[in-house]
Amino acid sequence: MSTSNLVRVAPGALVIGKPLPWTVYDADGKVLLRQGYVIQNETQLEQLFERGLFEPRKRDQAEPAEEAFDDARERNPFTDYPTLLRTLETTLAAISSQEDSALQRLLGLSRLLDRVCREAPDPCLALVHLYSVEPTAYEQTLFYAIICHFVAMEAGLDDNRTSVLVAAALTANIALLPFLDKLNASPRLLTDEQRTVIHKHPERSAQALKKAGIDNPLLIDIVLQHHEHSDGSGYPRGLSRSDILPEAQILSYAERYIAMITWRAYRERCSISDAQKAILEQSREDFRPYIGRALLEALTPYPPGSLVRLANNEVAVVTRRPVRLTGPFAQAILGPAGDRYPGSFQRDCSELDFNIRALEMPDVMPSMDFGLLWGFR
């Protein structure tokens, strides 16, 4: 890559134990670390920065999302990931600043995300689980939207309502974004001021959207209601049962699932199986139990991106959900003795030797070449 297209990686942009969100280059423009590489410790991180780390230069910040992605190329969620995050950041900034392009940007980003989810569904779900270790506020927001897309499809929502739901998921926490990373990183109990910010963010987010000229009634109501509960214990209005939109409940389930499988300073993250059990229990008490079930059906017990231990004692990453009587499918990356395979080996987990015996939750994720594992050129 030409060095003119590279910028130095900012200190703090790389997180130990979390896959790189983009490929990193050295000062000569040569690939140093590919997307999916996991930095193991502080010493390794310091050594890498001494060599000089660079990432691709960001796109023109003024470029609207719908123009930037109005092309026919095959979508690859892994290479799209950093651009999706940057576009989300600039879209929310445009809304907060009440720019004329705010609505155009949101519609463009929503259409792109819908297309990526439809063209590459399993890799999209893999993004959520591969990067769930310690996501930023923008990553969390993107994950909410991805989960909402799949739950909406499973629940039978039409394309228009699904599109509005995805746009709501991308914007529902815009008033909370300046505080979210600090809240997640704080081991202390919430202060009264922080609690007030949290309880008021649905209304403040809705107000920000309206001021930016985004006034779709369904979108606004989803944003306002996404923390309401069927039993009336939610906020900001204490709505209950049929007074709450099903789309708002889908977003609520998506946020809860992502919260459970991600790390917080005040608690450990849940395993995928424990999170799914909690979703199932919640759905049994819900006014619309089909929403929780739709989430579980969309994910499957072993969603793409999850690490699993197979019957032959290999460790594999799930790459595809089951198809009829076969699968799920996984790529074995560690041998029975814990040695790293030089490549990977596809496993049909419906076969006896490759049945999944357990989910794996290592302290540090193993490095992986995502494009190779999911078959992207």
Q: What percent of the chain has pLDDT over 90?
A: 69
pLDDT reported for residue 87:
96
Residue 21 in 3-state DSSP?
A: coil
Distance CA 169, CA 174 (A): 10
Nearest to 224 by CA among 241, 246, 201, 243: 201
Residue 3 has pLDDT above 90, yes or no: no
Residue 63 has pLDDT above 60, yes or no: no
Distance CA 89, CA 85 (A): 6
Q: Report CA-CA distances (Å) from 348 to 57, 308, 342, 356.
A: 40, 13, 20, 10
Nearest to 317 by CA among 241, 251, 375, 373: 373
Residue 60 has pLDDT above 50, yes or no: no
Where is pLDDT greater, at 136 or 167? 167
Q: Report CA-CA distances (Å) from 207 to 67, 214, 219, 260.
A: 27, 10, 12, 28
Report CA 239 to chain centroid distance, whole Å: 28
Which positions ≥6 away from 292 have C-beta within 8 Å?
253, 279, 280, 282, 283, 284, 286
Q: pLDDT tier at 48 (50, 70, 90 boundaries)?
A: confident
Residue 201 has pLDDT above 90, yes or no: yes
Nearest to 82 by CA among 171, 149, 170, 20: 20
Residue 222 has pLDDT above 80, yes or no: yes
pLDDT reported for residue 1:
60
Q: What does CATH list as the number for 65-299? A: 1.10.3210.10
Residue 330 has pLDDT above 60, yes or no: yes
| Dihedral-angle region of residue 224 (phi above 0 means left; psi in -120 to 50 means alpha; beta otherwise) | alpha
pLDDT reported for residue 255:
97
For every residue of 164-175, which 3-state class applies, written as one string? HHHHHHHHCCCC
Listed by start position, the domains of the chain span 3-56, 65-299, 307-373
Report CA 323 to chain centroid distance, whole Å: 23
Q: Report CA-CA distances (Å) from 322 to 120, 318, 326.
A: 15, 10, 6
Best-predicted range by mean pLDDT (22-26, 64-68, 184-188, 273-277):
273-277
Which positions ≥6 away from 238 have C-beta within 8 Å?
228, 232
pLDDT reported for residue 57:
67
Residue type at 189? Answer: L
Residue 208 has pLDDT above 90, yes or no: yes
| Across 17-21, 23-27, 246-250, least confident range | 23-27
User: What digits encode the pLDDT tens for the residues 225-238?
Assistant: 999 999 999 999 99
Q: pLDDT tier at 183 (50, 70, 90 boundaries)?
A: confident
* Residue 282 near residue 292 (C-beta atoms within 8 A): yes
Nearest-Å Rg of the Cα atoms of the chain is: 21
Q: pLDDT tier at 61 (50, 70, 90 boundaries)?
A: very low
pLDDT reported for residue 128:
97
pLDDT reported for residue 62:
44
Average pLDDT, the chain: 90
Q: pLDDT tier at 99 (50, 70, 90 boundaries)?
A: very high
Where is pLDDT greater, at 31 or 161? 161
Q: pLDDT tier at 341 (50, 70, 90 boundaries)?
A: very high
pLDDT reported for residue 37:
92
Distance CA 337, CA 339 (A): 6
pLDDT reported for residue 64:
47
